[in-house]
Every structure is written in C-alpha cells, then in structure tokens.
C-alpha cells in the first residue's frame, strides 16, 4: 500500500501568531467604529444555537445573482435582552486609556453576584456622583455601557452571567452620550434596538478548542514516507545548524483551537421573535430550543454551540453595499436528528 500524502496547509501556519489559547472565553473587542449616526450602542451579544439553510432573493445589484433565488447556509444566534447595569467613562491621553468614573444601576439582578462582587451603591449611583462625573467628561471622552447577559432566560443550563462593555456611538457631544446611557440604566436592551435586518456586522468569538495537536493536524504538513526516517508525522528538517534555534515559521506541535477570531461583513438576514418560525423538530442538537429573540447570520461563525458571540457594527463599512431587509422565501426547519 502506498503512503498517504497531505495536500497544502489547510489552517495556514503563519495566518495567526501566536497560536495560543484565548485569554477569556467571551472574546475581546479592541476597536469600535465611529460614524455620524444617532446615539446608540455599537454592539450586542448572543449565544450560538446551530445552523440551517435558507432560500432568499439576492438584492445587491453588484452581485452576479441579482434578482435570483439563492440557497445558502445561515447560523442562528439566540440573543436574549442585555441588562444595562452601569455606565463607564474613559479618557485617553499620551500614557493610554484610563477610567474617569462609573455609575451603576440602583437594582441588580439576583444572578449578578455569581459573576462579580456587587459594588457599594452609596459610592456609585447617587445623583451627586452623576453630577461630579458629568463635570469630568471632556469632548473626546469615551462612554461605554456595562452589560450583563441573561443566559438563564434561554435553554442554557448555567445562571452565571457574562459581564461585557459596549461602546456608545462617538459623536461630537460626549455629554449627550452619557445622558442617553443614564436614561437606559437598569433597563433591558433588545437586539432590535441596536441592529436591523440586512445590516453588515462583525462577529468576535473564540473558536472551538481541539487541545494539543501535532503539526500534521495543526499545520497540514505532508506525512513522510515509510523509508524516509524514524518519524512520519513531523517535520524532517527543522532548520540549519546556525542560527542555533528553531524559527517560528517551522510547523511545531502545540495548542490548536480556542483562539479568538474576528470575522468581518457578516450579514443579518432576519431578526426574529417567534421561536416557532425557527425551531426544528426536537430542537437544535447540543443546544435545545430557542425561546426568545434570535438572528439569522449568513454563513458560519467561529465557536461551538452555546458559545458567547460578540457582535459589533462593522468596522470596515462597504460603500457599495445597500442595507435593506432581504426577501426570505424558505427556512429549513427539518429535524436535525434524522427522525
């Protein structure tokens, strides 16, 4: 029997460096888009439920399939309302970004103490604290909302919430942003209040972890011949004698998966509220049934099911893209259990 050969690298050995485990499972957003729109939050968060496929009419005029029906895969993200528990003010100078002050809601959810130690409200939410904080706000201050996810409202088994920050749209008046966030303090924010159908967004998530793997699976290198050497699933020559070190470009074993990844220009095909329109018979495998708000995202996204997915208004807007609600003809709801 002949030996099995490997094709070109599948995962791209130098696509992302370093290939190490993500610092946190909920992902991290380092940059936000600045636009001239109305004051609103620039992102959201949800939980990956599964995938299906839809048939829709292509509505982008620059597409070769314009006006035709297309069958494409979509990812379902369940998006329970986020609870705004605090407002934080940042300022950036030559030495970096630092917190100027923060204001918290008067009431906290009973599950919040599972994630953090609840702050002393006497030092945060009084009107005097708000007035003092308003005086410190400058023209180029950055206002962010502190949100709490509510996984206990969906089919997940955990009650511990995730704490995330979402930036407000940068406009000329930072004080206006602060007052807008204070009005919503303690309320639930739904995804319809921030995003709309047909819009492009960025998805930030941590990919599925695969543990410690060898260079064949991790980098897609060729398996050596039987008579070549004592090793087969490794690199035969890892470099010259001098310099006396192994270059970072040489495929080596190590961590595979559980990396933070950002995917750009993911289109929201549908924002739904009625779970009967999306749940397949028997629910989604390894997830269950959707019980509230959800969105359909065109294509795939990183991470396994039940993973927290961070959503951000796209930081690279397409000038040729026209935002409008697509016409969906069919959504597959057949049982995923082959029953």
DSSP string computed for 209-248: P--EE-HHHHH-PPPPPTTT-S-SSS-S----SSS-S--T
Higher-pLDDT residue of 35, 210: 210
**How many whole angstroms separate alpha carbon 235 and alpha carbon 43?**
43
CB atoms within 10 A of CB 217: 15
- State which H helix or E strand residue 179 sits in: helix 174-183
Residue with tokens 């699933």: 233
Return the bridge partners of 44, or none. 311
pLDDT in tens, 255-273: 999 999 999 999 999 999 9
pLDDT of residue 305: 96
Q: Band the pLDDT of 12: cuts 50, 70, 90.
A: low
The verdict on residue 173 lying in a domain is: yes
pLDDT of residue 221: 92
The verdict on residue 95 lying in a domain is: yes
The first and second tokens of residue 295, run together, are: 């969105």
Burial, 23: exposed, middle or buried (Cβ in 10 Å; 0-12, 13-18, 19+)? exposed
The verdict on residue 323 lying in a domain is: no
Burial, 123: exposed, middle or buried (Cβ in 10 Å; 0-12, 13-18, 19+)? exposed
Helix (H, G, I), strand (E, B) or coil at 155: coil
End-to-end CA distance of the chain: 40
Residue 88 sits in a domain whose CATH number is 3.30.1430.10
pLDDT of residue 122: 65
pLDDT in tens, 63-101: 999 999 999 999 999 999 999 999 999 998 889 999 999
Indicate the Cα dihedral angle 4, 15, 164, 264, nearest 10°. Answer: -100
Q: Is the pLDDT of residue 323 over 70?
A: yes
The first and second tokens of residue 256, run together, are: 């595979």
Higher-pLDDT residue of 64, 123: 64
Query: Percent of the chain scored above 70 by pLDDT?
Result: 94
pLDDT in tens, 204-233: 999 999 999 999 999 999 999 888 778 899
Give the number of C-alpha atoms closer than 13 A to the C-alpha of residue 248, restricted to the C-beta side. Answer: 6
Positive or negative, the CA dihedral 281, 75, 278, 50 is: positive
Mean pLDDT of the chain: 90
pLDDT of residue 123: 63
CB atoms within 10 A of CB 202: 20
Q: Is the pLDDT of residue 9 over 50?
A: no
**How many whole angstroms separate alpha carbon 169 and alpha carbon 259?**
28
**How many whole angstroms separate alpha carbon 255 and alpha carbon 209?**
9
**How many whole angstroms separate alpha carbon 187 and alpha carbon 84?**
6
Range of the domain at 123: 81-188
Task: Give the relative orientation of helices 127-136 and 174-183 as an angle to the nearest 10 degrees.
Answer: 160
207 in Cβ contact with 303 (< 8 Å): yes
164 in Cβ contact with 147 (< 8 Å): yes
Higher-pLDDT residue of 75, 338: 75
The verdict on residue 88 lying in a domain is: yes
Closest CA to 265 of 316, 192, 205, 324: 316
The verdict on residue 142 lying in a domain is: yes
The verdict on residue 263 lying in a domain is: no
User: How many domains are there within the chain?
Assistant: 1
62-66, 114-118, 246-250, 282-286 — which is least confidently predicted? 114-118
Return the DSSP state at 228: T
The verdict on residue 183 lying in a domain is: yes
337 in Cβ contact with 282 (< 8 Å): yes
The verdict on residue 179 lying in a domain is: yes
Higher-pLDDT residue of 325, 122: 325
């Amino acid at each position: 029997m002949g030996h099995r050969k490997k094709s070109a690298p599948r995962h791209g050995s130098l696509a992302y460096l370093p290939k190490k485990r993500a610092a946190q499972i909920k992902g991290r957003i380092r940059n936000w888009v600045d636009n001239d729109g109305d004051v609103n939050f620039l992102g959201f968060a949800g939980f990956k439920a599964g995938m299906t496929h839809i048939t829709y009419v292509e509505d982008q005029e620059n597409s070769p399939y314009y006006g035709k029906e297309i069958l494409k895969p979509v990812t379902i993200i369940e998006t329970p309302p986020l609870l705004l528990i605090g407002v934080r003010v940042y300022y950036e100078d030559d030495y970096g970004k630092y917190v100027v002050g923060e204001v918290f809601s008067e009431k906290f959810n009973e599950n919040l103490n599972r994630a953090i130690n609840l702050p002393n409200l006497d030092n945060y939410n009084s009107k005097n604290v708000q007035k003092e904080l308003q005086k410190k706000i400058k023209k180029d201050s950055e206002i962010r909302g502190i949100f709490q996810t509510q996984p206990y409202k969906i089919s997940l088994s955990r009650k511990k919430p995730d704490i995330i920050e979402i930036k407000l749209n940068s406009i000329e008046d930072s004080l206006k942003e602060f007052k807008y966030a204070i009005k919503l303090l303690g309320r639930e924010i739904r995804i319809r209040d921030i995003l709309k159908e047909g819009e492009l967004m960025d998805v930030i998530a941590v990919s599925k972890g695969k543990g410690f793997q060898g260079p064949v699976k991790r980098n897609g290198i060729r398996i050596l011949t039987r008579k070549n050497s004592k090793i087969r699933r490794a690199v035969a020559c890892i470099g010259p004698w001098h310099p006396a070190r192994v270059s970072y470009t040489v495929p080596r074993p190590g961590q595979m998966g559980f990396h933070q990844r950002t995917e750009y220009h993911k289109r929201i095909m549908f924002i739904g509220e009625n779970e009967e329109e999306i749940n397949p018979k028997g629910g989604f495998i390894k997830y269950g049934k959707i019980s509230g708000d959800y969105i359909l995202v065109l294509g795939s996204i990183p991470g396994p099911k039940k993973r927290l997915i961070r959503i951000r208004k796209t930081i690279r807007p397409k000038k040729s893209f026209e935002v409008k609600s697509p016409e969906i003809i069919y959504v597959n709801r057949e049982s995923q259990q082959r029953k």
